Amino acid sequence: MTVQFIINWIATTPQFALPLLLACVGLIISERAGILNLGAEGFMAVGALTAVIVSHDFGTPWWGLVAGIVAGTGLALLFGIAVVVFRTEQVLSGLTVVALGAGITGVAGRSYMHQTVKGIDKLDLGFLAKLPAVGKILFVQDPIVYIGVAIVVGLWWFLYRSSLGLQLRAVGEDPATADVAGVDVAAYRISAVLVSGALCGLSGAYLSVVSSQVWVEGMIAGRGWIAVALVIFARWNPLRAVFGAILFGGADALTPRLLAIGADVPVYLMNMLPYAVTLMVLIAPTVLKREVSAEPTALGTVYLRQDRH
């Protein structure tokens, strides 16, 4: 591999990493509030299709991204009402969301299959983009990459440096104690689910409008499940999720770069690489046993006010 190949590979990695990062951070917020959210694949699917529909019909990708956020939030609202208000089983509810997302997009997206939409140009940062090596990697990206990084840093600050973030984490650790302290557990949990849906919707919208610029049924292709694994890798910390997303995104970005230079590689085996990394991430904590689990104590549990101490 030449130096130029490595630079080009690293420079394209953010486009593959950002959808995973946005979805992962959204799930972290939800799970920090105690709601086990397995619906990322469904949120991303409806976000991706809605973004393409709006971008295609109105001719602007920015409105498409906003529409993707709204679509993901809308589906998350249904999930939040189910698990918080009606106290349905969270794992089954998450799987139902995935099925809903696949069904809705499979029916509604037929007339938009393979129709291209206008994407978002990369930023022109002048002399910074011309810096050797780092210029192409750091300063030749689309604006959503920089916005995504800002979102992640902002949510990290919210979780660990703000009183509202402390209360949200308290809801995920011990909702009964948080309730006694005057925290509205249901409001925090539904709000966290809505944020997760919005970020997953943006993730899917980015994938369809910015990265691919086309809608194809099944284009999420398991990325929502990779985001679920990435939450564990990141130990429910948004900043650690950045490194995990780069690892997963880099694995995903490798195959097209190798094909672009005409390398003779087993394509199907290479396409399995991100999922192989996912399995290793899930297995590693059990094998190593070096760190205490950072999983929120009340994750996946139903809270009733009569459970208060």
pLDDT digits (tens, 9 = 90+) for 128-139: 888 888 888 888
**What pLDDT is recorded for position 134?**
87
pTM for the whole structure: 0.92
**What pLDDT is recorded for position 183?**
93
pLDDT digits (tens, 9 = 90+) for 160-210: 999 999 999 999 999 999 999 999 999 999 999 999 999 999 999 999 999
Q: Region 213-240: what's the mean pLDDT?
A: 91
The one-letter amino acid at 58 = F
DSSP H or E run through 308: none
Which residue(s) pair with 214 in the sheet? Answer: 116
Residue 37 structure tokens: 């959210």
- Cα 8–chain centre separation: 24
Q: How far apart are CA 68 and CA 208, in angstroms?
A: 10
CATH number, span 3-307? 1.10.3470
**What pLDDT is recorded for position 288?**
62
- Please state the domain extents for the chain: 3-307
